Chain A
Amino acid sequence: MTQTFAIGIGGAAGQGVATPGDIFAKIFSRRGLHLNAYNAYQSIIRGGHTFLTIRTGPDKVTNMGDRIDLLIPLNQDTMDRHFGLLSAGAACIYNSDTIKPGSAADGVQLCPLPVSKLADISRNKVAQNTLAVGAGLNMMGIGFQALEAMLTEQFKKKGDAVVAENVAIARTGYDYASENFKPFDPPVPMTENRYAVLSGNMALAMGGVAAGVKFYCAYPMSPSTGVLHWMASHARKAGVMVRQVEDEIGVVNMAIGAAHAGARAMCATSGGGFALMSEGLGMSAMMETPVVVIDCQRAGPSTGVPTKTEQGDLWQMLGAAFGDYPRVIGAPLDIGDCFKIIPEIFNIADRFQCPGIVLCDLLLSEGRLSVDPRDLNFNPPIDRGELITNGNGANGSNGTNGNYQRYKITESGVSPRAIPGVPGHAHTAATDEHDEDGVLISDEFTNPIKRRAMMEKRMRKQTGIEAAVSPPHLIGPRDAEVTLIGWGSTYGVIGEAREMLNEQGITTNQLQIRWLVPLHGDAILDILKDAKHTIIVENNYSGQFARYLRSETSYVPDGHIRKYDGEPFMPHHIVESVKEQLAGKSKLSVPAHEIMV
């Protein structure tokens, strides 16, 4: 396994955890290192306990990992919660004026900073943070120039005096560490690569822009709000109309209106907001108006745990709105994939004139990842399907609307879609069942023959969608001892757990599901028929994917690993659970989250 280095910074909300985090992240990415950041926090503006983990290394870092190499507790509470979890080789930098360490494990280096002696804390409230950043970088073997450049960028708006003051404090911490603390071995490396660092929410928003989204609307809801923030702050440059709407019912209906008029329209929410949108999803399907809805899952039910992650919305997506209708549901595998999946799902939604749902979660939405900027392709293929945007071939503009049938029954189930403003194609798009020309068959004269024909027309689109979406594939050797099955955001952590298991002599492979609907059940069964011991890993209580897989394919795995405490899996959770299950001790493992965050 490649070398990684992880920093944990913790404190109360409002104590300034984010700033040192941003400084470390920027310095790492400018050294050509990959990074993965996860912030454990609560729904509070001041107080509580926030713990940011930044893990870096020369190769892709897919998850927050198991280990903290450098702990920077900004208060006693953080020290008490995290110090005991450090292991040999780790270090803890802390303000020895205000914080007392507990008993350290063997090989853990204590790095006390006498903050009031090193800086004028009456002048600079965040002096302890800046001193710690300086000290930490020294111990990592990173030259001071990198930090000086960062602090200059950060404070230049406040004037030269503020820059000089902060650089001087950082320098003091840096020099104090070189005289008093033992450096990390090996030092944090450096490469020639350059990466972009972004959150999943930023990636989803930018993916929307790449897909040609021109209308975005939302109601603020954690953890999806970052999509709204990026869209709103970039709206003018990106030419996107961004609206904050009165509720999520209004959101989805407004997006459908914009989509019906011909714009690519997108919205994002979390489970509670999605519940309000579900009737609208049915309308999108019935009117055959493509719209893309992102659900950033948080721990539920109800208002749940707003700042914690879960994969608990799968069945809500599968069952959203009443009645049967074609839909496509994709779950991005990592933050880079949040960007890529949006143009893909728009093309499918446009081609098959149906709703597209992106099932993201807090782990990806609010996590940060380094991505090769070449992977952020703003010119992806765009396929708007059978869209009529001009009146060629129409018979006149007024009164007579020619023979255009908006819901024409076709073999593919797709009917060419004219947008308002096109002469000769006026029609009514209806949420009630309707005939090929859009006239209702719901009220005055219902008609079982027509109803059946329209139902079958719409559902035939599912066949086309299935062909348009690639089936999942097996990662790793086909004859491995263990097959780990996951979906969406667990891609990275399962991958690292596999590497650890392989090193311990247990061969593994991985089946990670990206497209949940259509599922490609036959392809999955074909992969699983050779599997020796299958375990489904998911971030929910009831095994929502396991139940879905069983309902679609009758497949029952050998075991399950589930977690529903609000925190994401760490690699060792999966490793230990696999070993427990191979030893026959359990078929359902629910690993305990050791960190109290």
Chain B
Amino acid sequence: MMATATLTTKPLTMADMKGKADPDWCPGCGDFGVLAALQKALVELQIPTHNIVTISGIGCSSNLPGYISTYGMHTLHGRALAVATGVKQANHELTVIVTGGDGDGFGIGGNHFVHTMRRNVDLLYIVMDNQIYGLTTGQTSPTSRLGMKTKSMPFGNIEAPVNPITMALAAGATFIARGFSGEQKHLTELIKHGIEHKGFSFIDVFSPCVTYNLDNTYQWFRPRVKKLEEDTTYDATDWTAAMGRSILWGEEIPIGKFFERTDVPALHAAEPVLNDGPLVYRDLRLPDEVTKGFIQELM
């Protein structure tokens, strides 16, 4: 049995959040801003680092768990959400954060993305969306714009991009937001909110790739992003309104919280088997009267 540790510790600081390795991202990469915002959010929430698991797939942004001092898992390409679902169901007292990129989440991992949302697994999923494949040196991603020229589509992309916010709304995610790596404070607040939300939280973060995506740069995003929080008429509990805002793209691109609902139980809360506490603390042996019943059914 595992004792729930109550250690007397000094408050967490940014220095405590540093992982064992330093990021190997290109100088200027948007992912630095996302990592910093995540660390800042965790410091502000003061969740003990040993009770957090940061889980990623494969890609530049998926190296993130190595750069933060929580428990981490650096899993297979596209599979982080499936792994994270298992972690959370086995021990629902853990805070689970999934980080990755657009190729990892919307390409190879697209199936798990949809199903983890409809299950309302209680975790925060941060996608560092740079609209390009960076680690494989610059190919088209599921969010690359039409016409974008890459090494894999040198004459321009002829396949329409997915809209992650619309997808999340359609699939039933219960917290949906968009951030921008260049808007640190705003992103930190979204992350805090996403962690505290009881259910699946999705934040699609514009995280520019300074090496391979010369279309969607900081300079391109800065004049375009408009915070939904600054629009006093916007109601983030209105799903239809959120759908309307999600399709805006061009001179004005909304960032901030698109949608939240709090009336859907998270997967672990909907499963009566977990009422008695996390599975990992359970006795492996079942009472004799239960197992005798199993045998009796066969007689």
- Residues of A that sit less than 8 Å from B by CB: 29, 194-198, 202, 206, 209-212, 214-215, 217, 234-243, 245-247, 249-250, 253-265, 279-280, 283, 287, 373, 376, 378-379, 382, 389-391, 396-399, 401, 419-432, 437-440, 443-444
Contacts of B87 on A, CB cut-off 8 Å?
Answer: 257-258, 260-261, 420
Q: Is the CB of B16 within 8 A of A399?
A: yes
Whether a CB of chain A sits under 8 angstroms from the CB of B293 is: yes
Q: Is the CB of B294 within 8 A of A249?
A: no
Contacts of A261 on B, CB cut-off 8 Å?
Answer: 53, 86-87, 90-91, 94, 280
- Residues of B that sit less than 8 Å from A by CB: 1-3, 5, 7, 9-10, 12-13, 15-21, 24, 48-51, 53-55, 58, 63, 65-66, 69-76, 79, 82-91, 93-94, 111-112, 114-115, 271-274, 276, 279-280, 282, 284-286, 288, 290-291, 293-295, 298-299
Q: Is the CB of B85 within 8 A of A257?
A: yes
Q: Is the CB of A444 within 8 A of B86?
A: no
| Known pairs A29-B299, A254-B86; A422 contacts B50 (CB<8 A) | yes
Q: Is the CB of A396 within 8 A of B7?
A: yes
| Known pairs A250-B112, A420-B50, A421-B50; A397 contacts B7 (CB<8 A) | yes
A399–B48 Cα distance when bound, in Å, is 9
Question: Can you list 19 contacts pairing A with B, beta carbon distance less than 8 Å?
Answer: A197-B298, A239-B282, A253-B83, A258-B90, A258-B279, A261-B86, A261-B91, A263-B90, A396-B7, A398-B50, A399-B17, A419-B91, A420-B51, A423-B48, A427-B71, A428-B20, A428-B74, A429-B74, A444-B21
B121 to chain A, nearest CB (A): 10
Contacts of A214 on B, CB cut-off 8 Å?
Answer: 90, 279-280, 282, 284
Q: Is the CB of B2 within 8 A of A426?
A: no
Q: Is the CB of A239 within 8 A of B76?
A: no
Contacts of A238 on B, CB cut-off 8 Å?
Answer: 286, 290, 294
A205–B21 Cα distance when bound, in Å, is 42
Q: Is the CB of A253 within 8 A of B70?
A: no
A262 to chain B, nearest CB (A): 4
Contacts of B69 on A, CB cut-off 8 Å?
Answer: 398-399, 401, 426
Look across to chain B and name the residue whose beta carbon is closest to the beta carbon of A392. Answer: B3
Q: Is the CB of A398 within 8 A of B298?
A: no
Given contacts A260-B73, A420-B51, A420-B53, 8 further A-B contacts (CB under 8 A): A215-B279, A253-B79, A253-B83, A391-B7, A399-B16, A426-B49, A426-B72, A443-B24
Q: Is the CB of A420 within 8 A of B91?
A: yes
Closest 9 CB pairs of A and B: A257-B86, A212-B284, A399-B16, A428-B72, A253-B82, A196-B298, A261-B90, A378-B291, A262-B280
Contacts of B298 on A, CB cut-off 8 Å?
Answer: 196-198, 202, 373
A37 to chain B, nearest CB (A): 13
